[in-house]
């Protein structure tokens, strides 16, 4: 960390936090890291927490980490210097290339590497790697059938839908289908006028509960066969759909796997 007053203090803090994270991830104390790379504990501590200028305790700065110590820290943690200095979110140039090409995160790439290492060392029959390759190969087959379209009707898509349904952006409803006489149906929305009064909030009666249709987690539904209004819970509906599709895709994959054996 070269002292450069032109850089914002936030940049130095970010680097210091990364040093601390790496040290704690490897279960080292500051003293242990200092001993391993051959510096004093005081020197290392200042890289993590900074120091104050003489006669000015309101100005904190971070001392220089010279190139040799950057290399030693890089080797100690098995990461690139770019990662140490927060110039990259990937721990190695190889991971950086793979991540930019595939969209995988650094942790995902490292997890795949560990799976591959286990397979190479024949520690166990590696079904994880086989399964991952089989799923991805089938996704690629679907893409080719769809003329190269990236999105596919795959098991990964529905697992993602199941995991993330609570974070999907949902807009509130703007109107409700309602019956205003014995034969006609119409739409009522906020801002409409009924008997000279402006509608402030549209609600429907469902299971003896007044449900505000402006709640995006509730879907108002009209059952024309029984002339009833009711609501569906959006998240539960989506979760159930995703689980059903995951089961369906598992059966498809199993059948294809058995046919290829």
Report yes or no: 72 and 111 within 8 Å, Cβ to Cβ. Answer: no
Which pLDDT does position 84 carry in this prediction?
95
What is the rounded average pLDDT of the residues 201-227? 60
* Residue 3 covered by a domain: no
Q: Are residues 142 and 170 in the same domain?
A: no
Tell me how crowded residue 202 is: count the other CB atoms within 10 A of its CB.
21
> What is the domain range of residue 237?
149-261
Percentage with pLDDT > 90 across the chain: 33
In angstroms, the CA 26 to CA 23 distance is: 5
The answer, yes or no, to whether residue 202 has pLDDT greater than 70, is no
Question: Count of domains in the chain?
Answer: 3
- Per residue in 75-86, pLDDT tens? 999 999 999 999
* Residue 93 covered by a domain: no
* Residue 189 covered by a domain: yes
What is the rounded average pLDDT of the residues 106-132? 81
* Residue 137 covered by a domain: yes
In angstroms, the CA 27 to CA 77 distance is: 11
In angstroms, the CA 104 to CA 96 distance is: 9
- Per residue in 134-168, pLDDT tens? 989 888 888 888 776 666 688 888 888 888 876 66
- Per residue in 223-235, pLDDT tens? 666 666 666 677 7
Q: Are residues 113 and 179 in the same domain?
A: no
The answer, yes or no, to whether residue 181 has pLDDT greater than 50, is yes
Q: Are residues 196 and 261 in the same domain?
A: yes
Give how far the C-alpha of residue 47 lies from the chain's centroid of Cα atoms, to the nearest Å.
Answer: 31
Report if pTM > 0.75. no
* Residue 97 covered by a domain: no
Q: Identify which of 154, 199, 163, 164 has the alpha carbon closest to the alpha carbon of residue 178.
A: 199
Which of the residue ranges 2-11, 51-60, 250-259 has the most confident prediction, judged by mean pLDDT?
250-259
Q: List C-alpha distances in Å: 29 to 35, 41, 48, 76, 139.
A: 10, 10, 12, 13, 46
Helices (H), 26-179: 30-37, 41-49, 67-77, 81-84, 93-102, 106-120, 127-145, 155-164
The answer, yes or no, to whether residue 2 has pLDDT greater than 60, is no
The answer, yes or no, to whether residue 101 has pLDDT greater than 90, is yes
Q: Are residues 157 and 239 in the same domain?
A: yes
Q: Are residues 137 and 161 in the same domain?
A: no
Task: Compare 116 and 25 and report the one with higher pLDDT.
Answer: 25
What is the rounded average pLDDT of the residues 106-114? 92
Report yes or no: 237 and 219 within 8 Å, Cβ to Cβ. Answer: yes
Which pLDDT does position 67 carry in this prediction?
93
The per-residue pLDDT of the chain, averaged, comes to 80
């Amino acid at each position: 960390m070269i002292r450069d007053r032109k850089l914002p203090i936030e940049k130095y803090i970010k680097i210091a936090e990364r040093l601390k994270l790496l040290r704690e991830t490897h279960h080292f104390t500051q003293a242990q890291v200092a001993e391993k790379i051959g510096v004093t504990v005081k020197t290392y501590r200042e890289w993590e927490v900074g120091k104050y200028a003489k006669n000015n305790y309101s100005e904190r700065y971070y001392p220089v980490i010279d190139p040799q110590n950057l290399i030693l820290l890089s080797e100690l943690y098995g990461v690139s210097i770019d990662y140490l200095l927060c110039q990259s979110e990937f721990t190695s140039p190889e991971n950086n290339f793979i991540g930019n090409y595939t969209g995988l995160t650094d942790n995902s790439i490292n997890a795949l590497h560990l799976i591959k290492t286990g397979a190479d060392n024949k520690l166990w029959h590696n079904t994880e790697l086989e399964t991952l390759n089989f799923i991805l190969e089938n996704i690629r087959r679907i893409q080719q059938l769809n003329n190269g379209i990236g999105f596919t009707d795959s098991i990964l898509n529905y697992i993602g839908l199941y995991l993330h349904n609570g974070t999907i952006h949902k807009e509130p409803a703007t109107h409700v289908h309602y019956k205003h006489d014995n034969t006609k149906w119409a739409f009522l929305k906020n801002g409409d006028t009924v008997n000279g009064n402006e509608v402030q909030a549209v609600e429907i009666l469902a299971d003896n509960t007044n449900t505000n249709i402006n709640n995006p987690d509730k879907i108002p539904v009209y059952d024309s066969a029984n002339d009833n209004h009711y609501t569906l819970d959006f998240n539960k509906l989506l979760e159930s759909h995703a689980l059903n599709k995951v089961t369906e895709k598992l059966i498809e994959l199993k059948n294809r796997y058995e046919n290829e054996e």
